[in-house]
Amino acid sequence: MRVLIRCLTIAAAAGVLASGSSVAADIEAGRQLAMHGAGEGSLPCMSCHGPDGAGNAAAGFPRIAGMEADYLLRQLHAYREGTRGGPIMKPIVANLSESDFENVAAYYASLKAPDIAAPTPDPALLAEGEWLAVNGNWDNEIPPCVSCHGPGGRGVGAEFPAIAGQHASYISAQLKAWQNGERQNDPQNLMKVVAERMSEREIEATAAYFAAQRPTAE
């Protein structure tokens, strides 16, 4: 709890908690964009993220349904600005306007977080992932993931995204993207310092653990 409060204090100090879109987003326009794309040659979001926004584990396309609108919006900006790699998303966001961003983020945020069918991981790996998620690894100064990502990894506001019910392939790819510098958009390098200290095995274990958690509380 102390770590969580510290995280939130850091986030508040960085001004990131004061986001909150001022413009009223048009969810129906966002749905049109998600389903049909932004005109000729533009791929609809659903062609990769799925008709329900559940993503695709094998392809590494993330689940985006049910995530906070301001988090999604920040990621779209990060792809456009290049602070986040992702060669597939870059040309997609290049075609979109600011109001497209807001509408499509509001649309995906309005959907229910789907339960993904995570493969049942090896129990030893799952137990290691749970230990790190809940207790951290203080020998290596890795704080518990849930101290920032909330109980069960279900997210805290728009700053600490839900990682429960996210695909393991995507979670591990993001942790590696922080390690190799492709993703640099996190406020105050909060996530970079965590990822940098993780071993390959710790990445695999936490990814398996969070993929197996339900995205919403019972």
Handedness of CA 128, 129, 131, 132 (dihedral sign): positive
Helices and strands of the chain, counted as H and E runs = 11, 0
Nearer to ligand HEC, 31 or 74 (CB): 74
Q: At closest approach, how far in Å is the CB of 42 from ligand HEC?
A: 8
Nearer to ligand HEC, 124 or 209 (CB): 209
Token pair listed for 73: 């919006």
Nearer to ligand HEC, 147 or 213 (CB): 147
Q: At closest approach, how far in Å is the CB of 151 from ligand HEC?
A: 13
Contact between 129 and 208 (Cβ < 8 Å): yes
Per-position DSSP letters for 32-76, written without gaps between them: HHHHH-SSTTPPPTHHHH-TTS--BTTTTBPP-TTS-HHHHHHHH
Q: At closest approach, how far in Å is the CB of 187 from ligand HEC?
A: 6
Contact between 52 and 165 (Cβ < 8 Å): no
Nearer to ligand HEC, 17 or 173 (CB): 173
Q: At closest approach, how far in Å is the CB of 119 from ligand HEC?
A: 18
| Residues in contact with ligand HEC by the rule CB under 6 A | 7, 33, 43, 45, 47-49, 60-62, 64, 72, 74-76, 84, 86, 88-89, 92, 104, 132, 142-143, 145, 147-149, 159-161, 163, 171, 173-175, 185-187, 190-191, 194, 206
Nearer to ligand HEC, 123 or 195 (CB): 195
Which residue(s) pair with 183 in the sheet?
84
